[in-house]
A and B are shown apart, each in its own frame.
Chain A
Amino acid sequence: MIAFLVRRVLSSVPTLVGISLLTFAVLNLLPNDPIQVWSGGGYYSAEAVEHLRSELRLQQGPAARYASWGLALLRGDLGRSMRDGRPVARVIASALPWTLLLNLCSVILIYGVAVPFGLFGASSPGSIADRLGRALLILLYAVPSFAAALLLQQWFAVRLGWLPLQGVPDRAATAAGTTVALARHLLLPTVCLALSGWALVARYARAAFRSALGREFLAVARAKGLSRLRASGHVVANTAVPFITLLATIVPGLAGGSVIVEQIFSLPGVGRLYLTSIEARDYPVVVGLTLLSAVLVLAGHLLVDVLYLVVDPRIRSGLLDESTDAA
Chain B
Amino acid sequence: MRPRSLSGILFTLLAAAVLSACTSSSPPKVGAVPGASEYGGRFVYPLRTEPATLNFVTASDQPADLVSRLVGDSLVDRDVDLNVVPRLAESWEFSGAGRVLTFHLRPGVRFHDGHPLTSADVKYTYERVIDPKNHALGRLDGFLPVESLETPDDRTVRVVYRFPYAPALSAWEMPILPRHLYEKEDFLTSRFNRAPIGSGPFRFVSWEPGRRIVLASNPDYWGGRPYVDTLELQFIPTQETTLMALLAGEIDYASLTPVQWDAYTRDPAFTRRFATVSYLSLFFYYIAWRADGSNPFFSDPEVRRAMALALDREEYVRAVLHGLGQVSSSLFHPAILPADPESRPLRHDPQAAAALLDHAGWRLDPETGLRRKNGAPFRFTLLIFSGGEDHAQFSQVAQESLRRLGIDMRIERLDWPALWARLQKGDFEAALSGTVPAGDPDDVVYGMLHSSQIRGGRNYAGFHDPEIDAWLEEGRRAIDPQARSACYRRIAKRVEELQPYTYLFFPKVLAALSRRVTGVAPSPRGLIVQYPGVIRLKIRQQPGG
Contact = CB atoms under 8 A, between A and B. Distances in A.
Contacts of A150: 240, 244
A43 B211 contact: no
Given A51-B132, A85-B188, A150-B240, A41 B245 contact: no
A84 B52 contact: yes
Q: Please classify how large the interface on chain B is, using the bins under 10, 10 to 19, 20 to 34, 35 or more.
A: 35 or more
Interface stretch (B344-352, B354-362, B371-379, B451-459): B451-459
Contacts of B9: 41-42
Interface in A137-168: 150, 153-154, 157-158, 161, 164-168
A47 B457 CA distance: 8
Contacts of A166: 236, 241, 244-245, 250
Contact of B421 (A36, A47, A86, A280): A36
B341 to A, nearest CB: 29
A284 to B, nearest CB: 13
Nearest to A81: B52
B83 interface: no
B245 to A, nearest CB: 5
B293 interface: no
Contact of A30 (B6, B210, B418): B418
A91 B209 CA distance: 9
B132 A52 contact: yes
Interface string A82-106: 0111100001001100100000000
A51 B456 CA distance: 11
Interface stretch (B34-42, B135-143, B405-413): B135-143
Contacts of A210: none
Interface stretch (B22-30, B440-448, B516-524): B440-448
A165 B237 contact: no
B1 interface: yes
B2 A282 contact: yes
B141 A161 contact: no
Contacts of A267: 210
Contacts of B33: none
A272 interface: yes
Contacts of B495: none
B420 interface: yes
B244 A276 contact: no
A99 B85 CA distance: 47
B482 interface: no
A37 interface: yes
Contacts of A153: 241, 244
Contacts of B1: 37-40, 83
B183 to A, nearest CB: 19
A31 B61 contact: no
Contacts of B136: 38
A267 B2 CA distance: 21
Interface stretch (A218-226, A232-240, A243-251, A258-266): A258-266
A146 B478 CA distance: 55
B472 to A, nearest CB: 12
B210 A43 contact: no
Nearest to A153: B244
B522 to A, nearest CB: 23
B144 A48 contact: yes
Interface in B212-264: 212, 234-238, 240-241, 244-245, 247-248, 250
Contact of A37 (B3, B5, B194, B238): B3
Contacts of B416: 41, 279
B417 A30 contact: yes
Given A157-B244, A264-B238, A268-B210, A85 B189 contact: yes
A25 interface: no
A33 B417 contact: yes
Given A43-B447, A166-B241, A263-B238, A268 B211 contact: yes
Contacts of A35: 137, 424
A325 interface: no
A296 B144 CA distance: 51
A169 B9 CA distance: 28
Contacts of A165: 241, 244-245, 248, 250
Interface string A260-299: 0001111111001100100111100000000000000000
A264 B3 contact: no
A33 B454 CA distance: 18
B417 A32 contact: yes
B435 interface: yes
B296 interface: no
B49 interface: yes
B50 interface: yes
B535 to A, nearest CB: 25
Given A36-B3, A46-B455, A264 B210 contact: no
Contacts of A263: 237-238, 241
A105 to B, nearest CB: 18
A49 B137 CA distance: 7
27 contacts: A31-B420, A33-B417, A35-B137, A36-B421, A40-B61, A40-B137, A41-B8, A41-B420, A43-B141, A43-B435, A43-B458, A44-B138, A44-B141, A45-B458, A46-B453, A46-B457, A47-B140, A49-B457, A50-B456, A52-B135, A84-B194, A85-B189, A153-B241, A263-B238, A268-B208, A276-B50, A279-B2
